[in-house]
Structure 1
Amino acid sequence: MLAEAAEAGGAVASLLTREKATLGALARRFAFTSPPVVTTAARGSSDHAASFFKYLMELGSGIPVASIGPSVASVYGRPLQLAGALHITVSQSGESPDLIALQDAAKAGGAFTLAVVNASESPIALSADLVLDIGAGPERSVAATKSFIASAAALAASVAALTHDDGLDRALAALPAALDAAPGAPDEAVARLSGAAHIYCVGRGPALAIASEAALKFKEVAAIHAEPFSLAEVMHGPLALVGPAFPVVGFVPGDAGLENAQEALGRLSALGADLFCFSSGTLPGTSVPLPATGAPALDALAGILPFYRLVHAVARARGLDPEAPPHLAKVTRTA
């Protein structure tokens, strides 16, 4: 897991160079008529990468992005009405039957289909209109690391291509170095989190997707129940569970949501929460600085790498093997 996570910077650098032609083709496809809506389909870590894309695309273009439940097509057999839309399937293996069925339904409903995969000869790739190959190489760890980062980076590059955002392009070029410079896991955080029974993972905007990925990894790698929440949503019902020493892990980049995040985290701190955040802002609790790329959203993405090191160490401290999470396999084929 750690070895593959450390390869993320190289994987991102390679895909940004290798897939320039694909990104150019995507930009040309929608050069004159923007899609009225973008839909996504994914599972697990790939779905978190799709959520990261959702915020970047909506913030950058104003075009709504919606996740469609694969069972709409695979189980319930319902047609889709997606004339002129862009449908994106994100899958490391490209083999899940439900994602294949939904992509086929989206195409039949009038959508242009883009497959973001780590297997360019997979069924999802072969049936898509355009394939963005993340090219992360073999990933043997059950817990996805470099494939999540590479998928999110590929989707961010798609946003830059569709919106002609030169600033995002420059930040993407800086992302590999930021990933390579990401720090390790602080010992104090490992000690504080290894005894936890429940954890909240929080963020806002694009960072919410990173918090969702962190919550999944706490569950599958360290066997800790963790839930992701928006820093706005956690102020509602979930706040009732927060008390002294309740652990909260946050991802807080220096974007327009920083001030609101500081206020929300201050309230959590006042209730006694044990705060541990990946952020370059001034926050209550303990913080690990986010690597800098020039785009706050990509800073948050780079912040998942030190988190992977943290959760791996937490699992070890709990006497668990991060390479063999119970009941899980590398490829899950859902109907």
Structure 2
Amino acid sequence: MASWMRREAEEAPGVVERLLRENEGEVRGLAAFLKRRPPALVLTVARGSSDHAALYAKYLLEARRRWPVLSLAPSVLTLYRARLLLPYPALLLAYSQSGESPDVVETVRAYREAGVLTLALVNREESPLAQAAEVVLPLYAGEEKAVAATKSVLAMMAATAQLLAHLEEGLALREALLALPEALAQALAAEGGWDYLVGVEHLFVLGRGLVYPAALEAALKLKETAGLHAEGLSLAEFLHGPQALLEEGFPVLALVQKDEALEASLRVLEGLKAKGAHLLVLSPEPDALALAHDPLRLPVASAPELTPLLLLQAFYPMAEALARARGLDPDRPRHLAKVTRTR
């Protein structure tokens, strides 16, 4: 029987299709407001996988809108009782599957009281987070039974991309979003295997630019489900020290797409291969796959802003299969629960 993790990952195309349809009016109105009154600073607050969706928002909004984005440390407010002095207007994006973590809820409540426009991207519309925020974009992911979140993460990223699409003047991204559910379904047919990782204990997961948040998410899932010590890093940051750990055969999983970071990424991968790294490359790009010892071919690509979602859609079933191959239950990671409440 398929695990909940796999089944929920396979539900993502339908979730995203509904989300894009149901939130269209709200997102259009919010984008029009933000274009009239652009934020001097965007804040994000999230934990775990949701924070990877928040980092994806940082890359989108900084690279495409040139809006500065700051990730809040909730403990600054909840433990040190300090609230930042902000330029106005400001926008706070809160990402959560459950909407129940007290530190995220308290942060949203405090900054809303201070006059910040607060937007919750959350799966549970009746959650404390949804009640605390001024604007809510539901994820429509339904119940997630697997501890490791999949469809809700992709929904958060899709909702962020939808907002960007309505902030942009052109129609290219909006048109790409129309094809996103079908592209996600095609991504489930990614080709390749994880045999090399069945017997290892450590690896690096690398990405650059818009793909970096997906690399962090992939590393977290390999920790949670496959029991691997997977460290997610930027391809650029990897050169500033961590590559010293490389030795012959050390596994490196790279997520690569065709955008402004492609040429730099290929050069780094060539160097890592020369240093003895065993490269696993998940990508739709032939030049990247040609460098891999184990190519993991993504059968479809989209706009650069959306291909990170396709990479994760392909990755989740692969990670689930690797967990099983390592004798683990991907639905029941050790020491973890579905909802984590921190302050």
CA distance in 2, matches of 1:164, 1:93: 33
Letter in 2 for 1:198: H
CA distance in 1, matches of 2:166, 2:321: 37
Q: Which residue of 2 aligns with 1:77?
A: 81
- CA separation of 1:175/1:112 partners in 2, compared to 1, >3 Å: closer, same or farther? same
- Using the TM superposition, give the Cα deviation of residue 185 of structure 1 relative to its aligned residue in structure 2, in angstroms: 6.4
Q: Which residue of 2 aligns with 1:223?
A: 227
Q: Which residue of 1 aligns with 2:166?
A: 161
Structure 1 residue 320 corresponds to structure 2 residue 311:
no
Q: Which residue of 1 aligns with 2:155?
A: 150
Q: Which residue of 2 aligns with 1:296?
A: 304
- Conserved? CA contact 1:247–1:274, under 8 Å: yes
- CA separation of 1:277/1:297 partners in 2, compared to 1, >3 Å: closer, same or farther? farther
Structure 2 counterparts to residues 1-335 of structure 1, below 5 A: 1-82=5-86, 83-184=88-189, 186=191, 189-281=193-285, 282-283=287-288, 284-285=291-292, 286-335=294-343
Letter in 2 for 1:333: R
Deviations 1:184-224 (A, max 9, x none): 5656x321011111111110111000000000001000000
- CA separation of 1:247/1:165 partners in 2, compared to 1, >3 Å: closer, same or farther? farther
Unaligned stretches of 5+ in structure 2? none
CA distance in 2, matches of 1:297, 1:163: 12
- Using the TM superposition, give the Cα deviation of residue 327 of structure 1 relative to its aligned residue in structure 2, in angstroms: 0.6
Letter in 2 for 1:231: L
- Using the TM superposition, give the Cα deviation of residue 320 of structure 1 relative to its aligned residue in structure 2, in angstroms: 0.7
Letter in 2 for 1:158: L
Alignment length, in residue pairs?
334
Identity of aligned residues (%): 46
- Conserved? CA contact 1:80–1:105, under 8 Å: no
- Conserved? CA contact 1:219–1:226, under 8 Å: yes
CA distance in 1, matches of 2:202, 2:305: 26
- CA separation of 1:116/1:165 partners in 2, compared to 1, >3 Å: closer, same or farther? farther
CA distance in 2, matches of 1:132, 1:84: 20
Unaligned stretches of 5+ in structure 1? none
CA distance in 1, matches of 2:57, 2:158: 9
Query: What's the TM-score, normalizing by structure 1?
Result: 0.96
CA distance in 2, matches of 1:293, 1:44: 26
CA distance in 1, matches of 2:182, 2:100: 32
- Using the TM superposition, give the Cα deviation of residue 163 of structure 1 relative to its aligned residue in structure 2, in angstroms: 3.0
Residues 276-285 or 292-301, more deviating: 292-301
- Conserved? CA contact 1:194–1:317, under 8 Å: yes
Deviations 1:8-27 (A, max 9, x none): 00000100000011102211
Letter in 1 for 2:134: D
CA distance in 2, matches of 1:300, 1:101: 30
CA distance in 2, matches of 1:174, 1:49: 20
Letter in 2 for 1:163: E
- Conserved? CA contact 1:88–1:116, under 8 Å: yes
- Conserved? CA contact 1:179–1:291, under 8 Å: no
SS class of match (1:55): helix
CA distance in 1, matches of 2:116, 2:265: 37
- Conserved? CA contact 2:183–2:302, under 8 Å: no
- Conserved? CA contact 2:298–2:314, under 8 Å: no
- Using the TM superposition, give the Cα deviation of residue 158 of structure 1 relative to its aligned residue in structure 2, in angstroms: 1.4
- Using the TM superposition, give the Cα deviation of residue 293 of structure 1 relative to its aligned residue in structure 2, in angstroms: 4.8
Deviations 1:88-116 (A, max 9, x none): 10001111100011112222332100000
Query: What's the TM-score, normalizing by structure 2?
Result: 0.94
- Conserved? CA contact 2:28–2:163, under 8 Å: no
Letter in 2 for 1:43: R
- CA separation of 1:88/1:229 partners in 2, compared to 1, >3 Å: closer, same or farther? same
- CA separation of 1:291/1:26 partners in 2, compared to 1, >3 Å: closer, same or farther? farther
